[in-house]
Amino acid sequence: MKHIHILKNPVQKYAWGSRTALHSLLDWPEPWEEPAAELWMGVHPKAPSKVEVDGDWRSLVDVIAADPISVLGNDVAKQFLNKLPFLFKVLAADRPLSIQVHPNMEQAREGFERENRNNIPFDAPNRSYKDASHKPECLCAVTRFEAMKGFRAPEDTLKLMDQVFSGTPMKELDPLRKDPNANGLKRFFTSLLSMDRTRQAGVVNDSVLGAQRLAGEDPAFHWLMELNREYPGDVGVLSPLFLNLVDLSPGEAIYVPAGELHAYLSGVGVEIMASSDNVLRGGLTPKHMDIPELLNVVNFTANPVIKQRPLADDDFERVYETPADEFQLSLIVLKDRERFTSRKKRSVEILICMEGEGLIEELDGGRALPLKKGMSIIVPSAVPVYAVSGNITLYKGGVGWGANLDL
């Protein structure tokens, strides 16, 4: 593939998605009856994109496999074994997603090999490892976006828990009172997930009563009640008391490394990640939960949430810096006569137009394509340099600058 091409991308219809958000944001036709949760741009085997080549729609997997160097560039093709290393998404959450964590590379390889040895089918509901890759991710808010990310400081958790359970202190908090550190957090969290159903139902009910009494004093109490409405009696209802709540304004982002417990609660965002589907769940879900493996993967160090704001350069590109080699997210906003020109040395990039319209041109005399809201395109490495003009807002997914690139 030597030129810029239009992409056709699959939509994942999960119960937590929205019937209107993606349609409105991407200027699609009338909403579907089923919730549209995620638009996927990439080559994940579960749902690869298609690319228009000579009038035909072909799988992006096949297009890259036919000529990986022209699409990815020599360095990226070598480092990532001729595969696109990132998955790019637009995500719309009308309901909270499950509490989850992603493994690091070593854990993913071991888990994948273990489940293969145990002959667990790839589509089995009790399969946790779908591939041998880690899954760091970065999410940027398009609308206001609310989430939970990482453990609160132990003293904050104890304060909120004691407020909610003022009449009936939780015995499961004893390890955290004794050791207000990572070890205490692990023992506390393990005890929560190990409750029998009778104990769990009683604790969740007490927490809801306490949160109702405290409503309005802290967002954690609001979200505890909201989660119980969505997942009544689930022990994950308690998570706003021990996980950091984060409220992102449009343009703000969070980076989620391996091992960090998190859950997306509401809003629309653009998300980019290593191309993996490895998820270990710990609550707020009817799906399979492998608790021993979850506890093995989770990092129990308490850390404050760091919101990322993009670093602007002189060419209208605002970059969200992360340590990931597989991906880099950036935002391009152009007005009037402004013009973005790409780097001369670059790898493959996927762009999606979120607002306005414009033009993308190959500056070596190649093709030019009009861009409009909802449209996504792939720019292969073989295109040496390109430019975008117009009144337009684009999100761009590319390979991380930390990768083995000759830039």
Residue 407 has pLDDT above 70, yes or no: no
Residue 116 has pLDDT above 90, yes or no: yes
State the average pLDDT over residues 133-151. Answer: 96
Q: Per-residue pLDDT tens for 313-366? A: 667 999 999 999 999 999 999 998 899 999 888 899 999 999 999 999 999 877
List the one residue out of 35, 47, 140, 43 whose CA is nearest residue 93: 35
Q: Which residues are catalytic?
A: 281
Q: What is the DSSP letter of 236?
A: G
Residue 406 has pLDDT above 70, yes or no: no
pLDDT band at 230 (very low <50, low <70, confident <90, very high): very high
Burial 184-206 (b: 16+ CB within 10 A, else e): bbbbbbbbbbeeeeeebeebbeb
| Burial bucket for residue 230 (CB in 10 Å: 0-12, 13-18, 19+) | middle
pLDDT band at 216 (very low <50, low <70, confident <90, very high): confident
What is d(CA 172, CA 299) in angstroms, rounded to the nearest whole number?
19
Q: What is the DSSP letter of 153?
A: P
Say what the pLDDT of residue 402 is: 55
**Residue 293 is encoded by which pair of tokens?**
């493996």
User: Phi and psi (nearest 5°) for 118?
Assistant: -85, 5
Hey, what domains does the chain have and what are their CATH numbers? Answer: 12-68+87-148+247-292 (2.60.120.10), 153-241 (no CATH)
